[in-house]
Chain A
């Protein structure tokens, strides 16, 4: 059985960044396994600009951002095994993969980094009643048809969900000559980044129907018509509020879910909120030596954060490989009032580096107070304007604070604006 110091599953932006970090930190014997024909992951189909502002201080397209990392990986002689699918990850860190050249192979790794990305929620998962004709796609699927294969899926388009991919596709398809009739969002706020609402909808006069959803699909062969209804505060359709759109295409941009079944099968503990593994300050999962990062850990809106997080998980793996991780008590990190989730979910008492928490709020906040507590002790308190679920927030726990922790950590967000 072939042995590696570290194997990275997934060659998207997370996997590439993790590989580069490992090499730079002296871990030589590594392998990246990628299912597709080339590395880069989801970035390869995101041909719009808007990547890398934080990392490279310029606006790159998805493929060019990926290219920067692919070049670094090549310079460092990272082995990337493409067209290869990992079928199974075992708790003993053996990895079973399959490809056309080698067949079915099992290898062993001292450390494993899961960088497997996410998948899009489908129609079934959001329960849209009605018929099941052609013409209903996830936004990413339509994006792939258009940007990779070169085909338009339709000309009269409606979009359910205001996730970023949907917004970007609204603009893209409009520019390619389609008519986008509108975007319906179940929640009273958008799930996309504000800049995408502005640049992809408002600039093209595409209406955004907040608190609305698609309540019926019509069409036997190809989609012919949809029914859109307003929803009440319990997210139930309001009778009498129906609108009808005669469209041939419905794009769904209703959420991304970490691709977690490898982790699940390996017995790794999951966070039901993120649907990804629970990790500690080293991005290590509940199975020692297995790490996770990127969209396979929790869904990110900016690739820069993915690259950064992956580098941190690789640093964690290096500590693990160098035997510098101490077995110690781990404090839990909870999402308190107003917070949907926090990653990492555990902090080791002996952690000797700053820990940056990524978290998302549950609803929009005008003027918010963010409080990080350990037991009853307030570690940090911060006022911030305009918080929304679509934008990931950060907060740092310093090494000094870690030394003074009194118990588990909770982050809460409350509205403090006047008159509310």
Chain B
């Protein structure tokens, strides 16, 4: 019997798993996919919003502001990348400028640092800002992270402290017994006293397994992006248009922690909660709407498109509460943007405001909530590189030529707790295939390393999902 089973290993579930791993509890984290962070956490704008955007008196506002402040320490503790880029909200004309005042007022009251810039002042910092931009509200403490890196690091810490993680484990049915639940999955049954529903776009479906009349409805809403190669330096800050009720945060230009640029997203309701495909219409929308704030977009440097699904909800706020009719079943649902930025605070909120009421939370001895930063050659000085290679020559064997990733880094990410066992898993953790050749060059090499290290045939290595075979058959 588990004390707690968390359904969903996105940023919400993994952050909670790490925080719970310090207590004497028997915790399991399950996910239907073949790796940590394969849902919304894998495909988003990667921004730690500072918290001026959510409406007053919402959980979103509270947890966003708090969560954003926690990230600096979390990323330090977990050895994760975080880059403070600052954000510009760019207004075009008087009507939009008025809207900036509302945001500034919220920022003021919430203790968020902000600055005003004229259009021309902003263009001095951002040469590709459109001429139409007349005024900018700047939030210099806004940061970007590598979302799945944080989720994976949290999972790693959780596992090290005794949390059990089960991938390829889909919650299909839940039965409520007198004092516990049974979670029925394709991978066996899990008995648990408490359930945390952190299943993103799946949250309504999972909730319906215990409640016929859920208070919220989730509709997947797709966001599509272009990714530019880091060979071109397009923006320094995150550039937002002025947010609107219909279009949300709008189409952005976002510098990533590794120097790439994201352009997007659009916002498009879809029926299928698995449909992370891109579309001509969606990408055209991004192109058309970006012209409002940006100019000289170097589309010739596009190396990839992708799409993510927001768990768009009939309820405008996060839903983080014990289900009214199902004691012991806790929803962490409707976690739309700024779900990433809020995640550390969401986790604390669940523990402090909900779980503490039910469970004795005593700290374990010998827990370790931090993770040493995995050695990344790209982050090192020449002297440090030389030293790293002296210690382990495999760090001198470069496998990915675009991102300059060594075999040493790849082996490390495979053999860590919660390690990579797929080509995409390696790509998520250490980046081969993220560059301009998109793995055309290194994928065969990564595949062979995975086969060797996992002691399987190359034909058994998958891209991502467990049936996503890359090689069809041996040809000898």
Contacts and interface: CB of A to CB of B under 8 A. Distances in A.
A317 B239 CA distance: 46
Most chain A Cβ neighbours within 10 Å, of B396, B458, B459, B473: B396
Contacts of B443: 141
Contact of A215 (B280, B385, B406, B472): B280
Contacts of A125: 302-304, 436, 438
Interface size class of A (residues with CB under 8 A): 35 or more
Given A104-B386, A104-B389, A87 B436 contact: no
B303 A98 contact: no
Nearest to A261: B231
Contacts of B173: none
17 contacts: A85-B404, A87-B398, A98-B396, A100-B394, A105-B386, A124-B227, A125-B302, A129-B278, A129-B279, A132-B276, A135-B470, A145-B444, A151-B475, A152-B475, A154-B472, A220-B274, A222-B468
A395 interface: no
Contacts of B466: 221
Interface stretch (A66-74, A115-123, A335-343): A115-123
B216 to A, nearest CB: 26
Given A119-B437, A122-B438, A146 B475 contact: yes
Contacts of B23: none
Contact of B458 (A99, A151, A155, A261): A151
Contact of B440 (A119, A131, A152): A119
B415 interface: no
Indicate the member of A96, A133, A149, A153 with the most B CB atoms within 10 Å: A149
A174 B162 CA distance: 52
Contact of A148 (B306, B439, B444): B444
Contacts, number: 154
A128 B387 CA distance: 43
- The 4 A-B residue pairs with the shortest CB-CB distance, nearest first, are A124-B304, A122-B438, A100-B393, A134-B463
Contacts of B188: none
A267 interface: no
B397 A138 contact: no
Contact of A129 (B280, B397, B462): B280
A123 B389 CA distance: 34
B474 interface: yes
A148 B447 CA distance: 13
Interface string B223-234: 000010001000
Nearest to A154: B472
Given A100-B394, A124-B227, A140-B440, A131 B471 contact: no
Given A104-B382, A124-B305, A98 B468 contact: no
A203 interface: no
Interface string B297-309: 0000011111000
B382 A130 contact: no
B468 A133 contact: yes
A176 B438 CA distance: 27
A83 B394 CA distance: 11
Given A119-B440, A237-B280, A83 B397 contact: yes
Contacts of A83: 397
A35 B401 contact: yes
A217 interface: yes
Contacts of B441: 119, 141
Contacts of B390: 103
B393 A153 contact: no
B465 interface: yes
B467 interface: yes
B109 interface: no
B472 A124 contact: no
B398 A35 contact: yes
Contacts of A137: 440
B398 A124 contact: no
B283 interface: yes
Contacts of B227: 124
Interface of A: 35, 83, 85, 87, 96, 98-106, 119-120, 122-125, 127, 129-135, 137-138, 140-141, 144-146, 148-155, 176, 215-217, 220-222, 237, 248-249, 257, 259, 261, 264
Interface residues of B, number: 59
Given A85-B401, A130-B278, A221 B438 contact: no
A127 B472 contact: no
Contacts of A144: 444
Contacts of A119: 402, 436-437, 440-441
Given A104-B385, A119-B437, A119-B441, A152 B472 contact: yes
Q: Is the interface of A mostly helix, strand, loop or mixed?
A: mixed
Given A132-B277, A149-B458, A151-B458, A85 B398 contact: yes
B361 to A, nearest CB: 40
Given A124-B302, A134-B462, A134-B470, A99 B396 contact: yes
Given A98-B396, A150-B475, 5 more contacts: A100-B396, A125-B438, A129-B282, A134-B469, A134-B470
A150 B471 CA distance: 10
Interface in B285-318: 302-306
A216 B470 CA distance: 20
Nearest to A236: B280
Contact of A127 (B275, B302, B394, B398): B302
B473 A151 contact: yes
A215 B406 CA distance: 36
Contact of B471 (A132, A133, A145): A145
B465 A221 contact: yes
B471 A153 contact: yes
Nearest to B463: A134
Contact of B382 (A96, A127, A135): A96
Nearest to A142: B444
A129 B284 CA distance: 11
Contacts of A176: 475
Contacts of A102: 396
Contacts of B436: 119, 122, 125, 257, 261
B471 A103 contact: no
Contacts of B306: 132
Contacts of B386: 103-105
A100 B305 contact: no
A137 B304 CA distance: 14
B357 interface: no
A222 B231 contact: no
B164 interface: no
Contacts of B383: 104
